[in-house]
Structure formats: structure tokens, C-alpha cells
Amino acid sequence: MFRRVVVLNGAAVWKSALIPTHWQDKTNMSRQLHARRLEKVEENVWLEFTKLAAEYKVVNLGQGFPDFSPPCFLLESLCNAIKGGPSMHQYTRAFGHPRLVKILAKFFGRILAREIDPMQEILVSVGAYGALFCAFQALVDEGDEVIIVEPFFDCYESMALMAGGKPVYVSLKPRKVTGPTLSSADWVLCPEELASKFNSRTKAIVINNPNNPLGKVFQREELQMIADLCIKHDVICFSDEVYEWLTYDGAKHIKTASLPGMWERTISVGSAGKSFSATGWKVGWAIGPGHLLKHLQNVHQNSLYHCPTLNQEAVAVAFERESELFGTDESYFKQLPTQLQVKRLKLAESLRSVGLQPFLPEGGYFMITDISSLKVDLNDPSSKNEPYDYRFVKWLIKEKRLGTIPVSAFYSHESRADFQNYIRFCFVKDDSTLKAAEDILRQWKDQK
């Protein structure tokens, strides 16, 4: 895919660079067109596998989005916003629509048991992606080390690299299991290994809780271990908590920022797409102390400026409703995990019925399973240099019309070889989709 070519840069100095062949545009311009910072972020698992899933019209348990409707109250709030007068269709405040930042401050202030300043301590952006991008651009400098806990949502690595940072990886590893069922809680960090990654060049650590793709929900002691190191080495924590409401079997999500000494060094990231099952809405936020947030706001105002007013207004109304209903059975943040709990068990059962052993997730949208026991002839010559899970997922798409995601995509290149025997399933799907997936798996088993 890559070819070493010689390029002429602006200052007429000959340099050699690794340039992906599909970037070598056929133009009559002799200079290199792309910015060098893009050279390490060329691959994208979502582009590759969503395209393939669409091409083969699969039963799609791949990309993480609900295929059922968002709640009616959310749709109503958008309709009302559309009819809400001229201001709903114009620019709003750059750092977040006032109605939305006010309710986010109130809502998360209650959870964190502290007063949050809606104007100085919140940024609303284009999805959690936008909030994360602003955080990396604002706080990671050329040469800064950024510790990334593997497996990680892939954009952390790209965003660290695009900011000029150096990703330093530390893996959650499955420990020896004692119980009858596997759980995402079995994936743990080694305290000594984690501590060894921190040094004077470390600027930030990125954690994702609940984790995508494992579904791990970090225990208080695990978060405390990370917090102690952050405080000791004066490191910022980017805590991606987009699945914070989605925990199962009594697992409890703890916000990193709630730990003693962590508010002043934590950027908590959230997503309305994940909160209200409307991933296409692209409303996300970063919450943190003013001395950090003002830099994210600066990046945001000079790049995206703001996220669409209508969506922000509708999300604000939905959060106002959640605030009223907080902790009750009518709260969507209670109803959604209850609904997903059933889907999660249904998918786990389907996987077990064909002899797979899923790691039951404590939270989030996803479930992973080891595929090494499945004996499949994967001799497709077009993909022979790829990790096993990539080849397996492609085979599953093409031969069985079932879409999933290879878990090694959530690892650095250094670690990929050690984690190429797992695939990820999304269970946030309509029951008919889960049933169709089960039928595919059962038929496959019967053929064997």
C-alpha cells in the first residue's frame, strides 16, 4: 500500500517520505500535497468495514450505532426546536448553546457534587469526536507523551499523532479466569507496567470508561491507581465516558473527575449521540476546570466555531427532562441500559450456542469473543498480510453476511499481533437484527 517516493517540499529540498499510493494524486503539481502530520494516520477501520458491510448487505453488528429509533421525547424536542423561531436557525454561542451548557452544568454538577460553571467549564462540540479533537489540539504539544490504554477507541492514537504527540501504550490484559463465564472485568492493567509508562515527558493519559471495545467498567481502585499516577507526575487525564449511562448487572460507573484531586486535571468527554441513541446528531461535550477548558474553547472557536443550534436546543430539552426524572424508572438513562441488558444476554447466548465464549461486558455497546477455536480456512490471497481477526471479519462478511469489527484495530501496531484472535459485536440493535445474526450463526454451526 505504501511506496517510498522522493518528494520536493516547498523549500526545494529533496526528501524521501512514506506516502500511501492512493495519495499520489495525478496532478501536474510536483510538490507534496498532504501535510506531513497525516502520514501516520492513514488507516481507518470504520471506513474500511462500513464500506464492506454496505457492499455485502450484511446483518450489521459492526459499527456501533442503534438501528432502532431514538426516544420519542428526543424527536419531539427537535420538532419543537425547528418551529421555535428564527434564532433556532442561526448561530449560537461558540462554546455551547446557553440552554445546553446550563443544563449540562446542572446535571453533571449533581453527579460530581460540585458547582460547574456553564460558561467556563464546558465546551459543546461536534460529537465526542469534536470534544476529543479539541482536547488533543489544545493540550498536547509537539513531543509530549500521551499514555493510551489499550484496547482504545482508534481516534485517540490519530489525534495524539496529529497534535505532534508521542503515543505510549499500556494494555489491559485478560487475567486467568476462575468463574464459569468470562467478563470484561477480567481485563486488567498491571500496576507496575502502568507506572513505568509515566515520566517527565508525559502530558496526558487517555482512558475510556466504559471501554470500547471490551465493555470494561473501571473499578474505583483501578481509577485510583491511575489518579495517583496522574497526580504524582502532574499529568492530565482525558476520560472518555460516552457510554457512562450504560452499565449492566449492577456495575457502577465512576467519573474519573470525582476522585480526590482529579477535577483540576481531568477532561470528561460525553456524547448526546450515545446518551439518547442518536449517533447521527453529533453533539458532544468536554467538561473540566476553566484553566484547561479555555484552551479547548480556543481551538473550537477557531475551527468548528459551534455545533448546530437545533441539535443543541433539542439535546438541552432532553437533558432537562432527564434532570427531572433522574434516578426514576422513566429516566431514559435508566430505561436504555435495562433494554440493552436483555439484548446483551441474547447476543451472549447466541455466541455460546455456537461454541464461542464472549466476555460479558459490564458496560457500553459491545461484546468481544475469542475466535481462535473456530477452524476457518482463511486463505484469501488479497488479505494474507493482515492480522487474523481482519481476515476473519472479512470472511464473515463475505461468506456469511454478518458484520463485526476486528479487535486488533483497537491496538497499536506493536501490540496487534498479540490481540488478533478477538472480534467485536455491537448488541445495540433491534431484536430482529439480533435474531437474524443468531440465525446466521446457527446455520453456520449446523453446516460444520
Given the complex with ligand GLN, which of 297 and 404 has the nearer CB atom?
404
46 binds, among ligand PMP, ligand GLN, none (CB under 5 to 8 A by kind): ligand GLN
- Residue 324 in grid coordinates: 427531572
Residue nearest to ligand PMP (CB): 127
Among 46, 56, 73, 326, binds ligand GLN (CB under 6 A): 46
User: Minimum Å distance from CB 46 to ligand GLN?
Assistant: 4
- CB of 270 closer than 8 Å to CB of 284: yes
User: Minimum Å distance from CB 153 to ligand PMP?
Assistant: 4
User: Minimum Å distance from CB 242 to ligand PMP?
Assistant: 4
Query: Cα separations (Å) of 85 from 217, 313, 434?
Result: 42, 12, 42
392 binds, among ligand GLN, ligand PMP, none (CB under 5 to 8 A by kind): none
Given the complex with ligand PMP, which of 256 and 271 has the nearer CB atom?
271
Which residues touch 244 (CB under 8 Å, ≥6 apart)? 209, 210, 253, 255, 270
Given the complex with ligand PMP, which of 116 and 428 has the nearer CB atom?
428
Which residues touch 352 (CB under 8 Å, ≥6 apart)? 358
Given the complex with ligand PMP, which of 128 and 259 has the nearer CB atom?
128
208 binds, among ligand PMP, ligand GLN, none (CB under 5 to 8 A by kind): ligand PMP
C-alpha triplet 30, 35, 38: angle, nearest 5° = 125
User: Minimum Å distance from CB 375 to ligand PMP?
Assistant: 32
Query: Cα separations (Å) of 331 from 42, 322, 334, 394?
Result: 41, 6, 5, 39
Given the complex with ligand GLN, which of 156 and 263 has the nearer CB atom?
156
Our finding on whether 298 is near ligand GLN (CB under 6 A) is no
Site string for ligand GLN, 167-206 (x = CB under 6 A): ----------------------------------------
- CB of 187 closer than 8 Å to CB of 216: yes
User: Minimum Å distance from CB 127 to ligand GLN?
Assistant: 9
DSSP 82-141: HTS-GGGGS---TT--HHHHHHHHHHHHHHHTS---TTTSEEEESHHHHHHHHHHHHH--
Angle at which helices 98-112 and 309-325 cross, to 10°? 30
3-class SS of residue 378: coil
C-alpha triplet 338, 154, 196: angle, nearest 5° = 100
Instruction: Enumerate residues 53-82 that contact ligand GLN by CB under 6 A.
Output: 63-64
- Residue 439 in grid coordinates: 440465525
User: Minimum Å distance from CB 16 to ligand GLN?
Assistant: 32
Our finding on whether 212 is near ligand GLN (CB under 6 A) is yes
Quote the CA–CA distance of 212 and 293 in Å, as a whole number: 25
User: Minimum Å distance from CB 278 to ligand GLN?
Assistant: 13
240 binds, among ligand GLN, ligand PMP, none (CB under 5 to 8 A by kind): ligand PMP
What is the Cα Rg of the chain in Å?
Answer: 22
Given the complex with ligand PMP, which of 269 and 440 has the nearer CB atom?
269
- Residue 344 in grid coordinates: 446483551
- Tell me the number of residues near ligand GLN by CB under 6 A: 4
In the complex, the residues that contact ligand PMP under the rule CB under 6 A are 64, 127-129, 153, 208, 212, 240, 242, 271, 273-274, 279, 284
63 binds, among ligand GLN, ligand PMP, none (CB under 5 to 8 A by kind): ligand GLN
Residues at the interface with ligand GLN (CB under 6 A):
46, 63-64, 212
